[in-house]
Amino acid sequence: MVSITLSIPEEIKHKMEEFPEMNWSGFIRKTIIEKTQELSWKEQMLTKLKNEQPRQEWAVRLQRASRASRVKQLRSKGLV
């Protein structure tokens, strides 16, 4: 495992010392792991969305064409 050094204000360090039962190192480690996993997931989702964009655009064009065709049919029957 790699070690990192973290700088915090002195007053926060004193506050942390008021809670000796708290494993601050473990807490920070867990928080960093969770945040990096969250950001990785977000990047994956954004990549998937970008890859889906052509398909979404195709679906929108298809839907619009279908609606236009249906409106044309209804107009020819005098229903619109």
Which amino acid belongs to residue 76? S
pLDDT (tens digit per residue) in 34-70: 999 999 999 999 999 888 888 888 888 889 988 888 8
**CB distance 74 to 65 below 8 Å:** no
pLDDT for the residue numbered 47: 93
Which residue's entry shows tokens 């969770």?
34
Question: What is the domain partition of the chain in residue ranges?
Answer: 27-76
Instruction: Count the neighbouring beta carbons within 10 Å of the beta carbon of residue 16.
Output: 13
Q: Is the pLDDT of residue 22 over 90?
A: yes
Q: Could you tell me the pTM of the whole model?
A: 0.61
Strands (E), 1-68: none
pLDDT for the residue numbered 43: 96
pLDDT for the residue numbered 13: 97
Average pLDDT, the chain: 92
Who's near 24: CB < 8 A, 6+ residues apart?
16
